[in-house]
Amino acid sequence: MESSYKVVVIGGGVVGASVLYHLAKFGWSDVCLIERSVLTSGSSWHAAGGIHALNADPNMAALQAYTIDLLSEIQAESGVDIGLHMTGGITMASTPERWEWLKSTYRIFQTIGIEDCHLMERGEILERCPILDVEGVYGGLWAINTTYLTHSYFLSFPFLFLFFHFHFPFS
């Protein structure tokens, strides 16, 4: 480990690893990441791998879209299967209030240019996912890019391990 770096990233969770990944991608090599324990020992260890594609905040929506594209890219460029399952996702409403909320959310998505989602009747929900019990369901919102990961994408950039320093608490 050197005594100084241009950038020191503190914390080896998904956010720190992503910052390091992007710095390396843009050609920065005088960088390191320090982690007080081991990689993903914080919240990232517990994440269920669910990736949401819809957000009423346009900046968040753009970030989510970027992340989903990035995951496919990482899988392709590393050749490592990160367990990306592009299943699509349904948000269901089982009360009239929730259904009104879903419909208004959908209208917001339309106004900010998110087009890869649509409202669904019960029949379409069942078509998409026949094991669901749609009794009492008013409708749903389909998001084609909602997805999940079964493995960690940390697996896919072993070269970055050159920059990691573990068991090194920053104070």
**170 and 36 Cβ atoms separated by less than 8 Å:** yes
Compare residues 54 and 134 and give the one whose CB is closer to ligand FAD: 54
Q: Least distance to ligand FAD from the beta carbon of 80, Å?
A: 20
Compare residues 63 and 136 and give the one whose CB is closer to ligand FAD: 63
Strand arrangement of the beta sheet that strand 50-51 belongs to: 50-51, 147-149, 84-85
Compare residues 32 and 125 and give the one whose CB is closer to ligand FAD: 32
Rg (CA), the chain: 20
Q: Least distance to ligand FAD from the beta carbon of 56, Å?
A: 17
Q: Least distance to ligand FAD from the beta carbon of 39, Å?
A: 7
DSSP helix/strand/coil, 121: coil
Q: Least distance to ligand FAD from the beta carbon of 19, Å?
A: 9
DSSP helix/strand/coil, 171: coil
Compare residues 75 and 147 and give the one whose CB is closer to ligand FAD: 147
The residues that bridge with 33 in the sheet, in sequence order, are 9, 164
* CA proximity to 56, closest of 97, 117, 108: 108
Q: Which residues bind ligand FAD (CB under 6 A)?
A: 10-16, 34-37, 41-44, 46-50, 169-170
